[in-house]
Structure 1
Amino acid sequence: MKKIIVGITGASGTVYAIDLLEKLHRLDDVEVHLVMSQWAKKNLELETDYSLSQINELADKVYHINDQGAAIASGSFLNDGMVIVPASMKTVATIAYGIGDNLIARAADVAIKEQRKLIIVPRETPLSVIHLENLTKLARVGAQIIPPMPAFYSHPKTIQDLVNHQTMKVLDAFGIPNEVDERWK
């Protein structure tokens, strides 16, 4: 069974997180550990029709953002990696500088120090030099940066088609077989 940590921050793009959670929830061999920032919860209200309880039901274990004693805050909690989707630039900076001031940042810090998979789905545009330097710093220590950039070779017709492509890329990065979207032929 794969254990995947999903962090959701306050950047716009909560639909990416929801889609990933829904697709992971359908898999019997994946255990999802979820932590959301306060602003992620606010964006859930602003950007979607989902309730917090609906999102929490998509995870096997839900943690409070300030629970520094949570299992996912320790390197001894064995897992297959973490994805932060969407990742705010505040969270990116916090992780890049090793400031584990909340559970998302601490769990990401643990992923880095334990050399486990860390996927960042940044949601900001335009990117400043500071943003780019922080993302580069994370990439240098092994984080995989997977920004939501649509592919048009599959001729997407809906927003869901675009979201599916992003989810496919994240699932691929975790080595989870999927046919969420069309692949380049």
Structure 2
Amino acid sequence: MRLVVAVTGATGSIYAVKLLEALKANEVDVHLIVSHWAEKTLQLEMGLTVEDIQKMSGSRYEEDDLAAPVSSGSFQHDGMVIIPCSMKTLAAIAHGFDENLIVRAADVTMKERRRLILVPRETPLNAVHLNNMLTLCQLGALIMPPMPAFYYHPKSIDDIVNHLVGRILDHLGQEQQLIPRWEGID
């Protein structure tokens, strides 16, 4: 499997790191794009550099490199995940404003009818955010806000992060052992 993974500057870089770790463990060919603000957020939230997370991917492209392979529909891949996804990036995708490689790659992913998963990070949400999400959902994108589930009794932040990443892996058709499967109530 070959995936494009983009990281924006929204808070929640832990989700991106955990997803990249899981994809590396599954030997997925990851093509990584990290925004300039994501670099700062990674450092602030996790003490990591782009070089640290680049080790979990096969290739990395600069945000302003609109000539990168992932900017073309001829680049074959199985989908794209933007994690976390800032409201600026989400709005740009919803309105076809291909200002950088992240948005261009998402636009290409949608036009080629490939899987696009967005993990928006903002709260509270206003009508503009919700309308942009609705637009993208109607265009086929999967919107997966990081909303924790408590029915499996998470005991740590890692458990909460694993829940979202496990669900993303499920939607990508990837094996995952991060979260238990719901088996009903005894």
The TM-score with structure 1 as length reference comes to: 0.97
Report if aligned partners of 1:74, 1:110 keep a CA contact under 8 Å in 2.
Answer: yes
Aligned ranges for residues 1-185 of structure 1 at < 5 Å?
2-28=1-27, 30-185=28-183
Distance in 2 (alpha carbons) for counterparts of 1:51 and 1:84: 18
Say which SS state the counterpart of residue 99 (structure 1) adopts. Answer: coil
Say which SS state the counterpart of residue 163 (structure 1) adopts. Answer: helix
Distance in 1 (alpha carbons) for counterparts of 2:53 and 2:92: 25
> Per-residue deviation at 1:51?
2.3
Distance in 2 (alpha carbons) for counterparts of 1:52 and 1:69: 20
Aligned-pair identity (%): 50
- The CA deviation string for residues 105-129 of structure 1, in whole angstroms up to 9 with x for no partner, is 0000001100100000000000000
User: Which consecutive aligned stretches of 4+ in structure 1 deviate over 6 angstroms post-superposition?
Assistant: none
| Structure 1 residues without counterparts, runs of 5 or longer | none
> Per-residue deviation at 1:27?
1.4
Distance in 2 (alpha carbons) for counterparts of 1:98 and 1:148: 24
Distance in 1 (alpha carbons) for counterparts of 2:63 and 2:50: 14
For these two proteins, the number of residue pairs brought into alignment is 183
| Structure 2 residues without counterparts, runs of 5 or longer | none
Moved more, 47-56 or 69-78: 47-56
Moved more, 45-54 or 57-66: 45-54
Distance in 2 (alpha carbons) for counterparts of 1:142 and 1:26: 28
The TM-score with structure 2 as length reference comes to: 0.97
- The amino acid that maps onto 1:67 is D
Distance in 1 (alpha carbons) for counterparts of 2:175 and 2:24: 14
Distance in 2 (alpha carbons) for counterparts of 1:115 and 1:47: 34
